[in-house]
Amino acid sequence: MTGRRRILLALACACLGSVDARAAQLCQRDVHQKFDETRIYSNAFIAACKPGAQCRVVTHQLDKAAPLGFSHTFAFQRNAVESSWQVMLVSVLQLADKQAGFDLTIDNNPTLKIVPQHISAPVSINEYALDPALTELVLAEAKPGNNIKWSYTVEAGERQQVRFSLAGLTDAMKWAECAQAELASGKSNPPAPEENKPEYSPPVPGVPIDPVGDGSESSSSDQ
């Protein structure tokens, strides 16, 4: 092969590589596709959007003894661009007593007392959504915050408490809002799943790798 042909071949490969890189980006972030979602990792959070529909920004309390590798989740979810965000809380191992209300405490701020009338279980019996108006209050404190503590009573009467890191929340939510608008408009398409492509950028210790799978990819946590 002549030197000229080698140069042309190298340029062609470089062009193809740049096209592939653009195909794996959305809202100026490297993304990957898993469980029919387009995802990024941002410190303690995973931001995930389904094409033209729901987006969520979620973190987990990991627990190797739990069936899915985590015991609790804390998330913000929005079903469409024009919808409001909602706080979503999940207790995997024990049902929460919704009638006893919830407490949410962000750093040293006053505790938010959530009464039963503002809690619903829209998807499953152990997933609880808060009213959008309450979510606005939580978001205002959570974005500049360091951690959030969820306190609740299980149906057996015990009081439970779980803490989640808020590291990366603002960045994850900013990307999710952009990605949801892009996917809903049709201006951008989700990347095609690639078997050989890394599923994630290595997260900080304690950050979940696979929040929906069987826990086999979960990392350990000392939270």
Q: Tally the C-alpha atoms within 13 A of residue 73's C-alpha that lie toward its C-beta.
A: 25
Per-residue pLDDT for 211 more than 70?
Answer: no
Please report the pLDDT score of residue 204 as a whole number: 44
Q: Check residue 223 and give its pLDDT.
A: 32
pLDDT for 36: 78
pLDDT higher than 70, residue 148:
yes
CATH topology of domain 24-185: Immunoglobulin-like (2.60.40)
Q: Which residues contact 28 (CB under 8 A, 6 or more apart)?
A: none
5 has a pLDDT exceeding 70: no
Q: Is the pLDDT of residue 220 over 70?
A: no
Interval 196-209 mean pLDDT = 42
Rounded distance between C-alpha atoms, residue 110 and residue 206, angstroms: 27
- Report the percentage of the chain scoring pLDDT > 70: 72
Q: Is the pLDDT of residue 49 over 80?
A: yes
Residue-wise pLDDT for 99-117, tens only, equals 999 999 999 999 999 999 9
Helix (H) or strand (E) holding 30: strand 29-30
Query: Which residue has better confidence, 123 or 194?
Result: 123
**Number of Cβ within a 10 Å radius of residue 10:** 10
More reliable by pLDDT, 178 or 2: 178
The pTM is what?
A: 0.75
> Are 46 and 37 in contact, with CB atoms under 8 Å apart?
no
H or E element in which residue 88 lies = strand 86-91
Q: What is the DSSP string of 171-213?
A: HHHHHHHHHHHHHHHTSS-PPPP-TTS-SSPPPPTT--S-SSS
Between 64 and 219, name the one with better pLDDT.
Answer: 64
The DSSP secondary-structure symbol of 211 reads S
pLDDT at 115: 95
Q: Give the sign of the dihedral formed by CA 127, CA 131, CA 132, CA 136.
A: negative
- CA–CA separation, 45 vs 169, rounded Å? 6
Answer yes or no: is pLDDT of 73 > 80. Answer: yes
pLDDT given for residue 123 in this prediction: 65
